[in-house]
Structure formats: structure tokens, C-alpha cells
Amino acid sequence: LTHYLAKVETHNHPTAISPSPGAATGSGGEIRDEGATGRGSKPKAGMCGFSVSNLNIPGFAQPWEQAYGKPERIASALDIMIEGPIGAAAFNNEFGRPNLAGTFRTFEQEVAGEVRGYHKPIMIAGGVGNIAARDAHKIEFKPGALLIQLGGPGMLIGLGGGAASSMTTGTNTADLDFASVQRGNPEIQRRAQEVIDRCWQMGEQNPILSIHDVGAGGLSNALPELAHGAGCGARFELRRVQTEEPGMSPREIWCNEAQERYVLAIPADRLDAFRALCERERCPFAVLGEATADGRLVVSDSHFGNNAVDMDMEVLLGKPPRMTRDVAHKPRHLPPFDAAAVDLQEAAWRVLRMPSVASKNFLITIGDRSVGGLTARDQMVGPWQVPVADCAVTALSYQGTLGEAFAMGEKTPLALIDAPASGRMAVGEAVTNLAAALIGDIGRIKLSANWMAAAGHAGEDAALFDTVRAVGLEFCPALGISIPVGKDSLSMKTAWEDNGAKKQVTAPLSLIISAFAVCNDVRRTLTPQLRTDCGETDLLLVDLGQGKHRLGGSALAQAYNSVGEHAPDADAALLRGFFAAVQKLNADKLLLAYHDRSDGGLFAAACEMAFAGHCGVSLNLDTLCFDPLMNDADGLERKPEMVGGRFRDRLMGALFAEELGALLQIRRDDRAKVMQVLRAHGLAACSHTVGELNAADEIRVWRNAKALFREKRADLQRAWTETSYQIARLRDDAQCAQEEFDALLDASDPGLSATLTFDPAEFPPLKKGGGGGISPPMIAMGARPRIAILREQGVNGQVEMAAAFDRAGFAAFDVHMSDLQARRVALTDFHGLVACGGFSYGDVLGAGQGWAKSILFNAQLRDAFAAYFGRADTFALGVCNGCQMMSHLAEIIPGAQHWPRFARNRSEQFEARFVMVEVPQSPSLFLDGMAGSCLPIVVSHGEGRADFSAHGKQDSAVVALRYVDNHGRVAQTYPFNPNGSPDGIAGLTTPDGRFTIMMPHPERIFRTLQMSWHPDSWGEDGPWLRMFRNARARLG
């Protein structure tokens, strides 16, 4: 029995001071929390979000942005959004966890006489993992248990981070601010996680009794908590703590917040077995002490011959006094937002450029979304890979269709109008996002609530209390949803002096909800991609705002420097009915596309669905704009002056209000069935047919038979993408950013497609021993050749690689380079070898170079690999980091002398893409029978550009895989050629075809459900499984 686990936390202060390491260690700390659950668990997939003040992008000023200044010591909002996401993505990438969801909001505005905004940003990191039921609860270990530090060394970083983050930004000393920022080393955290994985995979023999991550307060917090949780005291020797810097004081050793560390308890008689695991993974560990029965915390220091700490555990961790706060509400008088004065044309362009609405592409393509091979729904949707997915979905395993779904929700500007409503709407947005997955009953959803507020600021404490009560005691119980986890950050204010003038920026009360649930069938997740191949269809709006069209706190209001006076709110009964109805409609296959209504309202939702479907949409607002207090449509026809005023207010509200709801695409013939389901769930009065597709590839808005708005879909999509482009232009290679932005001008772009010269469901014929193709019965009978799944420290792609070869009929063996060095394993035991993807040695010597040099400069290993490659009965595959490594072994691989090295991507950025490749004719045994095929594949790398300048010869190299654009031409431009390789080179082989290297990742998409998009006609097996079956067929 396996459970899913979830955790979400923030790292706001460090990200404000130093965005990249701040965000990196925010993600790293949350990953450790997942791995340190119970007696050890497996982090699986992540999410990440940012809230900042106005971006003020040079040359791209927006009309709602006003410069207010900031303290010198904190980063600007633009710098945070350039550097912070890179830090978070880089840590996840190198650790090997896909990032599949997130949020991004900007807000900085004068409201009721004070500046509200996110000078102190929100950086939120969360994720899901899996844990065996037997390991879910920590064991209360007995005195004598060994207490161990696992992972990296202590360093003089992050000192006082826990304290500094709880103060108003700008009021600390600059030294404390910068000293409090930690630094990340994901490669060593990966090593530690491998040790944890080896432990829990031992089942009943798991040596870990209890485990904690080392976070705020360092060892001074983690070790006492570990012992106290078991009802024990503890005795430690300070000088056993592994440190990187000489001369650290006892306080610095005990309290530093160096990352990538865990503390755990094991039985004394399991030390040798645990040491062997650590040595195999090359993961540092130290026995720091043992549990005692006296209830005291004693930290001895052999250097000074005294006790650095000697106290009762209860003094440190006993019950603290209960906090009591005397709070008062602060009435806020807000002017109304006059939507009637807004020009629809201008409003549309402004809203699409608002960061909370606009494309998040620049946040997404830098993050690996496929590592682990269990991603079933990432952010990118459809053949044109548009980042509009409502939720993320992961598969539970490499078999079956069960999984986990998760999504986020936040509506923080609403708190300036109605704080409890902002909380209910955050929950509502998370639920309407998660509704896209096939979950079943709403009660299966579990929430994490992350609360941010400026405690002590006038009115904010009372608003926080009201919102917690409204969400936790009223709204969620009415929905039947529980909130088992959450965290808070209650110092969301920035204060400083500017030429003697006191300034401050205070964040709105901010609740970010993360929602998680078991997914019944990961293949049935709905997306916003409008379908143009399903006959006549309609767009149906389910309006849970019941026609109120409140524009308070909306992107439209923000775009005109207003907040408004009436906030949207959520009704628990309607939301329950909505969720149940969508689940029923999905289960009955009555929905073609689904998108929640949120930032930007109906207009943005319709646009995003059109962008994903590469088609036009016509919206008709007649049913939404009807007002019983006004004349009907015929009356308006007779009195055109009524097109202004109240009518126009309702028009803008219908288009841009951010009330809860969703836009559904249904077959016209199914409309009666759909309405019957909606009616049965109490939603008939909320459901309106509001649109259809059009052949003109335009976004049109109609009212009373008049076209009020009409623009080319491509033009609006470029406006929606422009914010992302502008940041990418500053952050990455500017020419690459321009090429990607200009690709939107190609209205004829057919998107991803697949042309196969083979049947993915067929097994290839055996190459020796005669007979037909491999069959599942043959695999089941045990004819499984041994293949070495080779990895080095920092490699993170070995599990999905093993799963792919296992599916093809191999017996996959985990082989660490340390196994070969220690001669526990020999390459002579294998006919096949595959070098996996990841970040061996953290790529510090160049991608794959450290791994290769560990072979070439070790006589024993060099001889063993040369002998293996020299055998006529062997084959090898190198993927991504393994490709890079094997290119450096070309001198000992027969026929590989013309292979290139692999250099930094042309974009100067890590690229995670789903792109097209063609399989040219080549001798590669892995690609046998696939020549002439064009199909999508995953790429995830930072150094994938084939470079023949110093090594190899392009004219003589045997190309096995080539990037092509969506038209099938050899890809020369970005992002169709994601790294800038000449002639689109993505993979190479040797003249005899036994050795193949490639940068893309076929092992991550051997099942169709792992693919971000695939033709509906494909079955369970993805076409890339043929590669692994070819290898199996080669061995007969």
C-alpha cells in the first residue's frame, strides 16, 4: 500500500535578498521535507510560485506601473523574476524532480492611502511524494539509538535565517540579511535521497527509525526535535559534525543552516549496513551521538573540553506560552471601479499583458517536467504546447492508470476589499483547477494553506483571524474538504528610508491554497485545448457568481490602477455541485475541453482555450448581460444611448469578472445531456451557452447581434506572450527569445504531429535465433537478458530508464560507478549497458566530463569499459548526461571517433521541451525499423548543442536522430531546435549501430500517458518503446 504525501512552504525573505539561492533553497528545503516524512519517502513532483511588485521591464512599461522605490539591499521585482525562477528550477532539475504547477502574480498599488505590494516577495514551493504505508509513522526509538547526520557539511551560511525571515524587510542589519541566505547543492541532496530510497526500499528491514530534515535553526533545531519526538534525551559530540570551514565557533557549528542535511535515528546494530549504503552512494554521514533516557540535551565539545549545551529538553521544546493578540478591524473606504469608462479594445490588450493572466512560458521551459517518467499532465497543452493546464497529474507507477493530481489557487488582491472572500475564492480557484482531473468525490481533496500577512499592521491581524475562521471553520467544512497542513509567514512588510522620508510597502493578506487528490485515471485529465476535429461544438459557461459580475480585485481593475469595492465570493453549495457535475461529465466523456475562469475572467479563459486549440472563438454575451432592471435587447436597439452606463458596466463584468466558474467545450449534439447533468447538480441557472468556434481564427465578442470586439487570435496570443518574451529576452539569448516570439506569427503552424513507419503495438522480429517478434508471454516466461542501468553520483534518470527496459523484456540492474570501482559488479555480466541522464558531479567539470574522466583516468575502469565496448555481443545507449559522458569516451568506443562534444545550449538556458524529431536511415540497432518516422520527444538539458569544433567530424558522423520543425523541415531555429545543434543533430550512432547516444529522453515517454500530447488513436504503448524492444530483439 502506497500513500501520497504533500508539503508546501515559502522562502520569502531569502528570495528578496538573493533571489537565485533563496528560491533554490526554498525548493530544496521543501524537497527534504518530503523525503524526511515518516521513516523515509520519495519526493515525486513539485510546484513553485512567485508574487512580486510591479516588474517595470525596461522598454516595456505598463500603464498600471508606478515607481515607488525600494530598499537598496533587496532585489527588484524584475531581478527576482529573472533570477529566482532559475534558482528554483535549477535545484529541481539537478535533484531530479519535475516541476508541474505554479502561480505568478504582480501587485503594487496605492490603496486607501498606503502602498500595497510584494516588495517582500512570496516564493512558494511545494510538491507531492509517495510513501509506503508501513513507513508513514516514525518509530519512537529507545535510548541507545544512534543519531546521525546525513548529507552535506556544515558551513558558515544561513546563520540566523529563521530569525531574519520573521522581521520586517529593511529593518534588519544588512549583514544579518545576507548572512541569513542559504546556498544550495542539489547534487549532494540527490545522493542523500538515494540513501533514503535504499533504506525504505528494504521494506521491513528499513534501518531508519525516524528522520527529520535540517532547516531553520540548523542542527540546533533538528537534532533536539528528533530525540524529543521519541520521548528521549540526547548526547552529542560537536566535533563529529562534518564542516567545510575551519575555525567555526560552537554556535556556528550548531546553528548554521547549511542545506542538504538530514538527521535520523537508526538501531546501533544497523550501523554497518547503513554505512555500506552511504559509501555506495558516496554520501557523507556522521554518527553525532545517541539517544538517552535522562531527558537532557547535552552537546559536548572535545576541542574546548566543555559542554556547549547542557539543558533539560523540556526547557527547549516544552509547551510555549500561548500567544494572545489584541487586534482591531480597520475600515477601508475604497472608491468604486468605473468599468463603464473603460474602452473594451484597450482593456483586452492590457489584461492579456497583466502578468497574472499572461503566458508563464518563461517560468516553465526552464524546468524539467518529465524527469522520473511519471508525469501525466504538465503545464504545456496540446500540439502547440501552450502553458494553460489547470492542474498537474502524476502516475502512481509505470503500470496502471492511478495517480495524483494537484493544483494551486490564490486571489490575494481581493483581501484589500474583503479578506474572508479572498480566502474562500483561493480555495474555490484551487478546486475549480483540480476539477479538470478525474478524482471523484470532492471529499478526497486535501488542502495545504499557506498564510502570508503583515502581522501588527493596522487591521491585518483582524483580517487574518476573520479569514482563517471563514476558511478553516466554515467554508472548507461546508465543502467537505480538510486542511491537514499549512504554514505561515507573518512579516510581509518592507520599510526603509529614502532621503530621510519613511517609506513602506505592505503585502495584502495572502492565502495560497494547494489542493491534492488521488486521481482515478490519469489519462482522463481535461485540458483547455479547444478541439476542431469533433464536429459542431458549443462553449458553455458555468457561472458560479450567478450573474453578479463583480470586478473588485480583478486583473481589469488592476490594469487601470483600481481595486474596486465589491469582491467576488464563493458559495459552498454551488461549488460542491459544480465539482460533482464536472466529474460526472468527464466520466461520461461529455466534455471536449475545460478551463476554469480566473484571472482575466471569461475573456482570458476563452483566449487561452483558443491559443491552445490554434483556432478562433466567437463569444456571445446576450445571456450574460441580461439585466432585469433594464430594457431587453429590443429596447437597447431602440435606445442606443443605453449602450453606455449600466449596460456597459455589465458587459465589462461579463467579460472580465473573476467569479468562480469554468468554460466548457461540448458537442452540440450533447447539449441536452450536459444540461441534464448540470440541472441535476443545481447549476441550470448558472449555465449559459456563450460561444462557438469560428473559421476566421479570430477572437470575437458579440452583443445584441453587434460585433463589439474582433482581433486575430495570433495577435492576441503575441500580446499574451509578450511579458514572457520580454523577460526571456533579458535573461536568455535575445535572438532565441525573438525567434520563439516570432514563431507565433506562423498561422500555418500545424503543431506537433506524428508520422510513423511502424506500428507501436507490434513487437520487432528477433535478430538471432529465428522466430517472430517478441511477445508478452515470452517476457513473462523469464527470457530476460541482463542490462546494466549505469549511473554516477548526481545521475537522476535511472529509474525511468530501468522501467523502459523492463517493459521491453530486460532484467534491469542498478549499477553505480562505485560498484564497478569496488568490483562488486563487472561489466562482463551484461550484454547491454545504458548511461542515464542527470547531472553527474553536478556538471561542475562540464556536462558528463567528470563521469567520463572517472573512467578514463582509472586504469581498471578504462580497461573494463574498453573491453566491454570491444565485445561483438554488446550494445550501449547514452541518454542526455549519459550521451555527454559517452561522447567523451569516444576514444575507447569503436566507430565513435567522429562524435562531437556537447556544449551549452544556444539559448544559454536549460531547455525542457516537447519537440519534433525525425529518425533518418542509420545502422543504430535501437532505431531499427523506425527510419522515416517523425514524432515528438522530450528534451531536458542545458548542454545539448553538438559541437564539432574541437572533436569529431560532422561530415563523417553517423546521425541517428534529428530535430525537425512542425512542418517536418530540419530545425534550424529556436525552440524547434532547442539547443542550436548543426543540422538539427539530436543523436548519433556508430557504423555498426551497437552504440547510440542522444540528448532527448525516449525513456520518459514509453507510455502514451507520459506524453504531453499524442494522437487520440494511440494505445497504451508509446512509439518510443520500440527503441527498447529493438534492443531486446537484438539479443534473440
- Other CB atoms within 10 Å distance of the CB of residue 672: 7
Please name the amino acid found at residue 158: G
CA distance 195 to 82: 34
Angle formed by the axes of helices 77-95 and 713-731, nearest 10°: 80
DSSP track, 325-392: ----------PPP-GGGS-HHHHHHHHHHSTTTS--HHHHTTS-SSTTS-EEE-SEETTTTEE--S-E
Backbone angles phi and psi of 52, in degrees to 5 = -135, 170
Which grid coordinates are listed for 244?
A: 567545510
What is Dmax (Cα atoms) for the chain?
96
CA distance 462 to 473: 16
CA dihedral 141, 147, 148, 154 (to 10 degrees): 130
Active site residue 1001: yes
CA distance 214 to 253: 13
- Other CB atoms within 10 Å distance of the CB of residue 321: 5
Angle formed by the axes of helices 19-35 and 77-95, nearest 10°: 40
CB-hemisphere CA count at 13 Å for 218? Answer: 26
Q: Give the total residue count for the chain.
A: 1036
In this structure, what DSSP letter does residue 583 have?
A: H
Strands laid side by side in the 375-377 sheet:
375-377, 392-395, 403-410, 510-519, 446-452, 482-489
CA distance 689 to 254: 64
Q: Sort strands 995-998 and 875-879 into parallel, antiparallel or unpaired.
A: parallel
Q: Which residues are registered as beta bridge partners of 541?
A: 663, 688
Which grid coordinates are listed for 119?
A: 516588495
Q: Helices then strands (H, E): number in the chain? A: 31, 41
Please name the amino acid found at residue 38: G
In this structure, what DSSP letter does residue 472 have?
A: I
Active-site entry in 232, 255, 615, 880: 880
CA distance 714 to 251: 60
Alpha-carbon separation of residue 803 from 196, 394, 396, 398 (angstroms)? 20, 16, 13, 7
Alpha-carbon separation of residue 245 from 218, 242, 846, 849 (angstroms)? 16, 9, 26, 27
- Which residues, 6+ apart, have CB-to-CB distance to 264 below 8 Å? 36, 147, 148, 150, 208, 209, 210, 211, 212, 226
Active-site entry in 212, 228, 566, 1001: 1001
3-state SS of the chain: helix, strand, coil percent to 5? 35, 25, 40
- Other CB atoms within 10 Å distance of the CB of residue 270: 17
Judge whether 479 and 572 are in contact, CB under 8 Å: yes
Please name the amino acid found at residue 490: L
Judge whether 414 and 332 are in contact, CB under 8 Å: no
Three-class DSSP category at 947? strand
Active-site entry in 614, 800, 1003, 1014: 1003
Give 320: exposed, middle or buried? Use CB within 10 Å, 0-12, 13-18, 19+. Answer: exposed
Give 684: exposed, middle or buried? Use CB within 10 Å, 0-12, 13-18, 19+. Answer: exposed
Catalytically active residues, by annotation = 880, 1001, 1003
